[in-house]
Every structure is written in C-alpha cells, then in structure tokens.
Amino acid sequence: MGAWSSFTRDLLEQMPLILTGLVNTLQLAASISVSGLLLGILVFYLTLSKNKLVRNSINAYISFFIGMPLIVLLFLMYYGLPSWGIRLSPFTVAFIGFTFNVAAYNAAYLKTAYNGLDKSQLEAASAQGFNPLQIFQLITLPQVLRLSIPALTNQVIANLKDSSVAFLIQYTEFFAR
C-alpha cells in the first residue's frame, strides 16, 4: 500500500506540470493542424497554376519540406536564426516549422486526390463561364477535401505525435514531462 500512496502523492504533486504540458501539446497540435491545412490548400492551388515557374517553385517547396527532417528544420530555425539577430520563442519556431512541413504534406495529399477527380466536371464548369478561382472554390476543393479526409485525419494524428519533437527546442509540452 505504501508504494501506491507514494505514486499517488507524486502524481498529484506533478499534476499542474502535466496539465500545463497537455494544454501546450494540444495547443501546438491544433494550431499546426489548422494552419497547415490552410497553407496546404493555398500551396495545392498554386500547383494547379498554368505558369510553369510558379508550378515548379511550389513543387520544389513541397519536395524540400517533405524531404527535410522536421528536427533539422526546427534546429536550424531555433539555433540558427539567432546568429542573424532573429530570436523567436520556442512556440513560434515550432509553429512556423511544423506549419511549413504539414502544409507540404497536406498539399501532396490534396494533389493526389485531385488526380483522382473526373476532369469533365472542371471542363463543364469552364464551359459555363466559371473562372478558375470559382472552379477551384466550388467544384475542385470540396471534392478534393472529401477524398482527402483519411489522409488529412492521419496527418492530424501525426501532428499530435510529432509535437513531442518541439521538446528539443525548449518547448514545454506533455511528452517532455
């Protein structure tokens, strides 16, 4: 009985720290999930550009951020930017780094779903006088989001798990406690 009461006492003593870490983890995961989706939609839209330079630049962005390990990106931002006089809080570095990374993955998921769409709908909308932005907003995006739900849900779960990497740049989160 003594070991159990000791565990309970220690747990109750640490509860404020645990709850603070849990709130920080959920805050980071939720914010990067939302910002990563919004930026991912923008990046995906730019991959559909008729301008070859824009399309190639965006594809390079996607390849770069998917290929770069997240921990390297966070280290470069947190420990490298101060040498240029740019100091950011651990949350800000984690938010920016994760957002760019998650947006690249989300754009890739959306592009994959787009490749599975029936393009005759897009041609019909164009024939009806819709401009490219209207076609994207009213026809392409709703269908692509619906087809991407499994991949985007997996990404949200991965965001929650990957948030523990932020501990390495001094961000106090649940898994660091």
For residue 107, give the CATH number of its domain.
Answer: 1.10.3720.10
Residue 91 falls within a domain, yes or no? yes
Residue of 122, 14, 107, 105 lying closest to 66 (CA atoms): 105
- Is 122's pLDDT higher than 80? yes
- Give the integer Cα–Cα distance in Å for 77 and 81: 5
Residue 73 falls within a domain, yes or no? yes
**pLDDT computed for residue 174 by the predictor:** 65
- Is 175's pLDDT higher than 90? no
Report the pLDDT averaged over residues 64-86.
92
- Give the integer Cα–Cα distance in Å for 71 and 168: 8
Centre a 10 Å sphere on the Cβ of residue 161 and count the other Cβ atoms it contains: 11
Residue 22 falls within a domain, yes or no? no
**pLDDT computed for residue 167 by the predictor:** 83
Residue 13 falls within a domain, yes or no? no
What b-and-e string marks burial along 75-100, b requiring 16 or more CB atoms within 10 Å of the CB?
A: bebbeeeeeeeeebebbebbbbbbbb
**What residues make up the domain containing 140?**
31-170
User: Is the pTM of the predicted complex or chain greater than 0.75?
Assistant: yes
Report the pLDDT averaged over residues 37-44.
98
Residue 25 falls within a domain, yes or no? no
User: If pLDDT is split at 50, 70 and 90, which confidence band does 99 have?
Assistant: very high
- Give the integer Cα–Cα distance in Å for 128 and 157: 40
Residue 11 falls within a domain, yes or no? no
- Give the integer Cα–Cα distance in Å for 11 and 8: 5
Looking at every residue in the chain, the average pLDDT score rounds to: 90
- Is 67's pLDDT higher than 90? yes
Residue 96 falls within a domain, yes or no? yes
Centre a 10 Å sphere on the Cβ of residue 154 and count the other Cβ atoms it contains: 12
Domain count, the chain: 1
Residue 1 falls within a domain, yes or no? no
Please give the residue that has the higher pLDDT: either 171 or 22: 22
- Give the integer Cα–Cα distance in Å for 8 and 25: 23
Distance of CA 45 to the CA centre of its chain: 16
**pLDDT computed for residue 21 by the predictor:** 80
